[in-house]
Amino acid sequence: MIHCESLRFSYPGDRFSLRIDTLDVESGSAVALIGPSGCGKTTLLNLVAGIRVPEDGEVRVGETNLCTLTEAKRQDFRLRHIGLVPQNFELLDYLTVSENILVPFRISGDGKLPEGAKSRAADLLERAGIAEHADKFPDQISQGERQRVAMCRGLISSPEVILADEPTGNLDPENQDTIVSLLLEEATRIGSTVVMITHEPALERRFDRVVNVLELRKGSGE
Amino acid sequence: MNWRGILHLGSRYLARNRPKTVLLIAAFTLVWLLPAAIALIVSEVEEKLRSRAAGTSLVLGHAGSALELTFNALYFTKPAIATFPKSDADEIAASGLADVIPIYSRYTAGDYRIVGTTIDYFFFREFVYRPGRAPVRPGECVIGSAVAEKNGISVGDAVISSPETLFDLAGVYPLKMTVAGIIEPTGTPDDNAIFTDLKTTWIIEGLGHGHDEAEDVPEDQKLSEEEDGVIRLNASVMEYNEITPENIDSFHFHGDEGSFPITAAIVAPHGAKEQAILKGRFANSDLRQLITPAEEMDELFATVFTVQQVVLWLLIGVGIGTLAIGAMVFVLSHRLRKDEFRHLRHLGASPGTLRGLIAFEAAFVVGSSIALAGTGLAIIAAIAPMVVEKVVG
């Protein structure tokens, strides 16, 4: 499902550079990306999401080589095929919980909600255990609940790929477990491929595969 | 362009940040509305004052403020101007150079000016009575349409003059006047005035009065009875405070009518030559002035426009400042929302959608403020004539 090859990336004016020879993630599998801070986990995730473009190499999601697409097309591709779950929730504080979940539909196409979108949002909220907060604003709910909302937003369009950037980083162990369970159960249900960054060893065993980014880089001869 | 999404997200942002949105809209509304409203009201006042002034050739009055004289004679708003003998106006009429209409505009009935004049005034202003007729004897009056409407007064009802001061025992007794007619609306200060003849206003002033025949009053109300038959009465004699067909014959004036006061006289010269002669005659007079109201209005509005220009420039300065602050609020707000836009971009929002979002919010604030200012201006335009009428009569 995800295929990265001969990736080279560096930030302008920064000594950091990322080199990865190969990374393959099979369709429907769940992969945990681990590694020390600053090793390039988030950069790799952004490359896979098409948010950043490598200087060299190839990032393929399904049949699409993201490196050959324009920024607008990458954004469109992301919108249609990838669900993003950021670490800091990134909820819009002027929208209610249920409206936040539907944002990917609002910013795509003609902004019209597809049929069944609202009931799917309600269903996700129900399964995330926050249905009673549907009409509340983000500042009226707890951190753990906000992360669940962000998770629901990443899942709302039943994406083929879910990329989660340490979604449990700010949560207590109980909430961490709940979030990962929700993510993996829903991904299994809709057949999505999951790549999630985590620092929690306890969560690693819940994934099909654990990839240490530092070792990936070493493998590339860095 | 994803207008539906932009509309949804933009409107939700504005609604959630209501205080900021309302404040910005209010500030921008004032920026558009204030200069326009001032210009509109000044224009309304100017039109009203100028049209009245243009219809009146000359006004005779006591030497002093020409503007106060204009306002007393034309708009009945400056009662406390110096009076002069009616004979001065009669002299002009006798010269054959002009028609002269004396005006004694000093007393009130409640909030409304009582204007003592002659029947010529009613023809000069082309009054139409609906219903009723012009006053034909002392003690009768006709009232402006606004006076009638606001107070529910009909023909046959009475209006009572107000004493000048609460304890005015010296002479200005309340006089009950019968309404003979109601003037059809004119859109001029006449709508808010009560017109009667000069004699009635002099009776209000105490220059004329009516009472029982001196021979018939009780002895204790007599001061003395001279041998030549002249009876002097004391102040306890009851004077009539209403002129009726029964007591009208008892009303009389002590003194020469020509010496009785008026506040102004409208002078309508028979031609340009006569006007020039009259103007020349009063050009160097220390006691009287013969003014051209239209010229006084020109002078007044020259001053008003100067002030208006200054005010408008100040408002434009304040407006530019307000717009700059508004723009800064937008810029700062978008800086604060940098993360939000970055994340929307990451989620897949196109640059066009993000630009549309920013443009929508700015357009909504500016558009709403223009719409509100337009509505406000329409309301002001609708009520301006009423407000102006209230202020300048």
ipTM of this predicted complex?
Answer: 0.82
* Cβ–Cβ gap B8/A106 under 8 Å: yes
Domain that holds residue B7: 3-48+300-392
Nearest CA in chain A to B14: A94
- Can you tell me the distance from the alpha carbon of A146 to that of A94, in angstroms, rounded to the nearest whole number? 14
Q: What percent of chain A has pLDDT over 90?
A: 40
Please tell me whether residues B376 and B317 are part of one structural domain: yes
Q: Is there a domain that residue B270 lies in?
A: yes
Count of domains for chain B = 2
Q: What residues of B are in contact with residue A49 (Cβ under 8 Å)?
A: 346
B347–chain A Cβ distance below 8 A for any pair: yes
In whole angstroms, what is the distance from residue B49 CA to residue B293 CA?
A: 10
**Statement: residue B168 has pLDDT above 70:** no
Which amino acid makes up residue B253?
Answer: F
Q: Considering just the CA atoms, what is the radius of gyration of chain B in Å?
A: 31
Q: Domain for residue B242, yes or no?
A: no
The contacts of residue B209 (CB under 8 Å, 6+ apart) are: B203, B239, B240, B251, B252
Q: Are residues B136 and B278 in the same domain?
A: yes
Domain of residue A92, CATH code:
3.40.50.300
Q: Helix H segments across B144-232?
A: 145-151, 198-205
- A217-222's contacts with Cβ under 8 Å and 24+ in sequence apart are A217/A18, A217/A19, A217/A20, A217/A39, A217/A40, A219/A20, A219/A21, A220/A19, A220/A20, A220/A21, A221/A19, A221/A21, A222/A17, A222/A19
Q: Does B232 touch chain A (CB under 8 A)?
A: no
Across the interface, of B5, B17, B343, the residue whose CB is closest to A106 is B5
- pLDDT exceeds cutoff 80 at B249: no
Residue B91's Cβ-count burial label (10 Å; 0-12, 13-18, 19+) is middle
Q: How far is CA B177 from CA A218, B113, B148, B247, in A?
A: 112, 13, 14, 14
Asked if pLDDT for residue B170 goes beyond 60, the answer is no
Q: What is the pLDDT of residue B256?
A: 83
**Which of B273, B291, B309 is the endpoint of a domain?**
B291
- Closest residue of A to B8, CA-based? A106
Contact B17 A94 (CB under 8 A): yes
Residue B49, chain A, CB below 8 Å: the answer is no
Per-residue model confidence as pLDDT tens digits over B295-331 = 888 888 888 778 888 888 888 888 888 888 888 888 8
Asked whether residue A43 carries a pLDDT value surpassing 70, the answer given is yes
| Residues of chain B neighbouring A72 (CB-CB closer than 8 A) | 350-351
Q: What mean pLDDT do residues A32-46 have?
A: 90
Chain A residues with CB-CB distance to B1 below 8 A: none
Q: What is the pLDDT of residues B122-155, one digit of tens each?
A: 998 888 888 888 888 888 899 999 999 999 988 9
**pLDDT for the residue A15:** 81
Do A107 and B9 lie within an 8 Å CB cutoff?
Answer: yes
Question: What is the reported pLDDT for B65?
Answer: 87
| CB B163, CB B172: distance < 8 Å | yes
Let me know whether B266 and B158 are in one domain. Answer: yes
**Contact between chains at B348 and A107 (C-beta distance less than 8 A):** yes
Q: How far is B14 from chain A (nearest CA, A)?
A: 8
Specify whether the CB–CB gap between A3 and A66 falls below 8 A. Answer: no
B332 and B183 together in one domain: no
Q: Answer whether residue B218 is part of any domain.
A: no
Q: Which residue has the higher pLDDT, A36 or B55?
A: A36
Q: Are residues B187 and B319 in the same domain?
A: no
Residue A114 — very low, low, confident or very high, per pLDDT cuts 50/70/90? confident
The mean pLDDT value of chain B amounts to 84
Based on the fold, state whether residues B85 and B203 are members of the same structural domain. Answer: yes
**H or E stretch covering B196:** strand B193-197
The two tokens of residue A26 are: 């099979």
- In chain B, what residues touch A160 (CB-CB under 8 Å)? none
Q: Is residue B250 part of a domain?
A: no
Q: How many other C-beta atoms can be found within 10 angstroms of the C-beta atom of residue B179?
A: 21
**B21 and B74 share a domain?**
no
- B7 contacts A95? CB cut-off 8 A: no
Q: Which residues of B touch A112 (CB under 8 A)?
A: 4
Overall average pLDDT of the B244-254 stretch: 73
pLDDT number for residue B242 = 72
Kindly state whether B5 is in contact with chain A, defined as any CB-CB distance less than 8 angstroms. yes
Residue B369, pLDDT score = 94
Do B9 and B100 fall within a single domain? no
Contact check, Cβ <8 Å, B347/A109:
no
B43 shares its domain with B138: no
B260 domain-assigned: yes
Q: What's the average model confidence in pLDDT over A99-114? A: 87
CB pair distance less than 8 Å for A110 and B345? no
User: In this complex, is the C-beta atom of A70 within 8 Å of any C-beta atom belonging to chain B?
Assistant: no
pLDDT bin (cut points 50, 70, 90) of residue A94 is very high
Give B2→chain A minimum CA distance, Å.
5
Q: Over 60: is that where the pLDDT of B169 sits?
A: no
Identify whether B201 is part of a domain: yes
> Which one of A71, A77, A106 would you mutate to disrupt binding with B, by most B Cβ within 10 Å of its Cβ?
A106
Q: Residue B73's pLDDT is what?
A: 87
What pLDDT shows up at residue A29?
A: 93
What does the pLDDT read at residue A60?
Answer: 92
B357 touching chain A per CB within 8 A: no
pLDDT value for B303? 82
Of B3, B17, B339, the CB nearest to A111: B3
User: Would you put residue B249 in left (φ > 0), alpha (ψ -120 to 50) or beta?
Assistant: alpha
CA dist B277 → A48, A195, B62, B97, B266 (Å): 100, 105, 19, 8, 16
- Residues of chain A above pLDDT 70, percent: 98
Residues on chain A touching B12 (C-beta within 8 angstroms): 94-95, 99
Whole domain around residue A51: which residue ranges? 2-219
CA distance B5 to A104: 10
Give the number of C-alpha atoms closer than 13 A to the C-alpha of residue B235, restricted to the C-beta side: 5
Q: Answer yes or no: is pLDDT of A194 > 90.
A: yes
Q: At B168, is the secondary structure helix, strand, or coil?
A: coil
State yes or no: pLDDT of A132 exceeds 90: yes
B12 closest CB neighbour out of A49, A94, A104: A94
pLDDT at B240: 60
pLDDT, average across residues B93-101 = 90
The 10s digit of each residue's pLDDT in B175-217 is 888 899 999 998 888 898 999 999 889 888 877 776 656 566 5
Percent pLDDT > 90 in chain B is 20
Instruction: Give the residue-averaged pLDDT of B20-37.
Output: 89
Q: What is the pLDDT of residue B166?
A: 56
> Distance (Å) from the C-alpha of residue A89 to the closest C-alpha of chain B?
10
Q: How confident is the model at residue B49 (pLDDT cuts 50, 70, 90)?
A: confident
Residue pair B107/B160 in contact by the 8 Å Cβ criterion: no
Q: Is residue B69 part of a domain?
A: yes
Closest Cα in chain B to A100 = B9
Domains in chain A: how many in total? 1
Q: Which residues of A touch B21 (CB under 8 A)?
A: none
Q: Same domain, yes or no, for B279 and B149? A: yes
Asked if residues B162 and B138 have their Cβ atoms less than 8 Å apart, the reply is no
Claim to verify: residue B76 and residue B17 sit in the same structural domain: no
Cα–Cα distance list, B369 to B24, B365, B374 (Å): 8, 6, 8
pLDDT over threshold 60, residue B237: no
Average pLDDT score over residue span B34-50 = 84
Alpha carbon of B3: minimum distance to chain A alpha carbons (Å): 7
Kindly tell me if the per-residue pLDDT of B393 is higher than 60: no
Residue A219 pLDDT: 63
Which candidate in A94, A96, A97, A98 is best for mutational testing of the B interface (most B CBs within 10 A)?
Answer: A94
Q: Which amino acid is at B272?
A: A
Contact B2 A99 (CB under 8 A): no
Q: Do A78 and B347 touch (CB under 8 A)?
A: yes
pLDDT of residue B40: 87
Tokens 């999951």, residue? Answer: A194
Tell whether B90 and B193 lie within a shared domain.
yes
Of the pLDDT bands very low, low, confident and very high (cuts 50, 70, 90), residue A210 is: very high
Q: Is B186 helix (H, G, I), strand (E, B) or coil?
A: coil
**Contacting residues for A105 by C-beta, under 8 A, at least 6 apart:** A111, A112, A113, A114, A117, A156, A157
Task: Please write the tens of the pLDDT for every residue from B336-392.
Answer: 888 888 888 888 888 888 889 889 998 999 999 999 999 999 999 998 887 777 666
- The DSSP H or E segment spanning B317 is helix B293-336
Residue B76 pLDDT: 86
Pairs across A and B, CB distance < 8 A: 72
Whether residue B39 is contained in a domain is answered as: yes
